């Protein structure tokens, strides 16, 4: 495993990322929509660092087998609707890889009548984007490697790491083997 972003770098990067978001919204009420589960740590840090009136909602993206990318999104439309109508919305996700997860999600949020919708991601992978959509706020840009830590997992492992690391192919095989055991 190779550390890409140390704990100190992560903390400093997220602080300045939160400051940019804070400046952008200028005290206006905001709804944060966290894409679970990978964004759970980032969502918690944004809640700590943003000094704004905030409402918190979540949507769930089910990961496909082996965790390489997200599957279909699960939205609780009734709950989301009242937190999105006539409000500024910031969608918070762990990583923008191909962008397909957010490409599916954003129109569903738009349908609920927000004043604005913006996207904040912890990580964006270089050279992987497949859709005409870009995050508005990105804390770190990383090379095209499979990363774990700070909420991101592989086969249920490594979510707890306080830093971001890239997995070697052999470590991915090991994690797959372990998750198959009962
Ligand atoms: P996208 O739809 O291709 O942008 O994929 C986004 C989702 O796939 C992320 O929100 C993650 O859940 C998952 N994902 C993509 N790359 C990685 C990675 O390197 N580590 C962990 N999860 C990833
Ligand atoms: Mg995700």
Judge whether 108 lies within some domain. yes
Catalytic residue among 97, 111, 153, 156: 97
pLDDT band at 68, cuts 50/70/90? Answer: low
What pLDDT does residue 76 have?
77
pLDDT score of 77: 75
CATH of the domain at 50: 3.40.50.2020
Query: Is residue 160 helix, strand or coil?
Result: coil
Q: Which residues line ligand 1 (CB under 6 A)?
A: 38, 63, 69-70, 93-101, 146-148, 152
Whether the predicted pLDDT of 73 surpasses 80: no
Q: Return left, alpha or beta for 127; rule: phi > 0 is left, psi -120 to 50 is alpha, else beta.
A: left
pLDDT digits (tens, 9 = 90+) for 115-151: 999 999 999 999 999 999 999 999 999 999 999 999 9
Domain housing 75: 2-142
Residue 104 neighbours by CB under 8 Å, 6+ apart: 73
Q: What is the pLDDT of residue 70?
A: 60
Task: Encode pLDDT of 77-92 as tens digits.
Answer: 778 999 999 999 999 9
Query: Are the beta carbons of 98 and 121 closer than 8 angstroms?
Result: no
Residue 158 belongs to some domain of the structure? no
- Is 45 an annotated catalytic residue? no
What does the pLDDT look like over 92-121, one tens digit per residue? Answer: 999 999 999 999 999 999 999 999 999 999
Ligand 1: atom nearest CA of 61 is 12
Task: Give how many domains the chain has, as a whole number.
Answer: 1
pLDDT recorded at residue 139: 98
Q: Is residue 165 part of a domain?
A: no
- Strand 2-5 to 88-96 pairing: unpaired
pTM (two decimals) = 0.92
Q: Which is nearest to 150 in space by CA: 40, 70, 63, 52?
A: 40
| Segment 2-59, tens digit of pLDDT | 999 999 999 999 999 999 999 999 989 999 999 999 999 999 999 999 999 999 999 9
In a domain, 181, yes or no: no
Q: What mean pLDDT is reported for the chain?
A: 91
Between the CA of 26 and the centroid of ligand 1 the distance, in Å, is 30
Write down the pLDDT at residue 12: 98
* Residue whose CB lies within 8 A of the most ligand 1 atoms, among 1, 65, 97, for a mutation test: 97
Residue at 161 is within a domain: no
Residue 37 preceded by cis peptide, ω within 30: yes
List, in sequence order, every beta strand (DSSP E) within the chain: 2-5, 30-36, 54-63, 70-74, 88-96, 116-125, 137-142, 147-148, 164-166
Domain annotation covers residue 103:
yes
Give Cα 131 to chain centroid, integer Å: 17
Question: Does residue 115 belong to any structural domain of this protein?
Answer: yes
Residue 59, domain member (yes or no): yes
The number of beta carbons lying within 10 Å of the beta carbon of residue 62 is: 11
Residue with tokens 């918070």: 92
**Residue 179, pLDDT score:** 63
Q: Taking the CA of residue 1 as centre, how many other CA atoms within 13 Å lie in the half-sphere pointing to its CB?
A: 18
- The residues pairing with 119 across neighbouring beta strands, listed in sequence order, are 91
- The span from the CA of 161 to the CA of 151, in Å, is 8
């Amino acid at each position: 495993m190779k550390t890409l972003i140390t704990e100190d770098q992560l903390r400093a990067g997220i602080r300045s990322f939160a400051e940019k978001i804070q400046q952008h919204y200028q005290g206006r009420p905001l709804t944060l929509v966290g894409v679970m589960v990978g964004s759970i740590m980032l969502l918690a840090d944004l809640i700590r660092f943003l000094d704004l009136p905030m409402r918190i909602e979540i949507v769930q993206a089910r990961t496909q087998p082996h965790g390489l990318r997200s599957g279909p999104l699960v939205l609780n439309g009734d709950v989301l609707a009242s937190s999105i109508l006539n409000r500024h919305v910031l969608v918070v996700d762990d990583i923008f890889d191909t962008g397909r997860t957010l490409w599916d999600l954003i129109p569903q949020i738009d349908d609920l009548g927000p004043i604005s919708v913006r996207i904040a991601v912890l990580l964006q992978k270089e050279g992987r984007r497949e859709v005409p959509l870009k995050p508005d706020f990105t804390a770190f840009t990383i090379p095209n490697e499979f990363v774990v830590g700070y909420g991101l997992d592989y086969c249920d492992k490594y979510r707890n790491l306080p830093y971001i690391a890239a997995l070697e192919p052999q470590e991915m095989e090991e994690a797959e083997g372990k998750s198959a055991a009962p």
